[in-house]
């Protein structure tokens, strides 16, 4: 059975600690940290990530 499109996407997440906005993959293989303050933005969860920061939206390509 074919899928109509990709099941994963890039999302924009805002860091709760410093306010940095960062584009990340919604299905990371490991924890994703803020590039500015090193706070956790997403935790890998064996599929879609657990979002620790504020989800701002998806990135349209």
* More confident site: 55 or 1: 55
When computed from its CA atoms, the radius of gyration of the chain, rounded to whole angstroms, is: 12
Give ∠ CA 23-50-1 in degrees, rounded to 5. 85
* Per-residue pLDDT tens over the stretch 4-44: 766 789 999 999 999 999 999 999 999 999 999 999 999 99
Contact at 8 Å (CB) between 41 and 24? yes
Residues 10-58, CATH architecture: Single Sheet (2.20)
In this prediction the pTM is 0.82
Domain ranges (residues) in the chain: 10-58
């Amino acid at each position: 059975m074919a899928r109509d499109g990709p099941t994963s996407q890039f999302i924009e997440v805002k860091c709760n600690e410093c306010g940095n906005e960062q584009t990340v993959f919604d299905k990371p293989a490991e924890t994703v940290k803020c590039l500015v303050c090193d706070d956790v933005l997403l935790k890998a969860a064996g599929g879609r990530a657990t979002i620790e920061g504020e989800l701002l939206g998806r990135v349209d390509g």
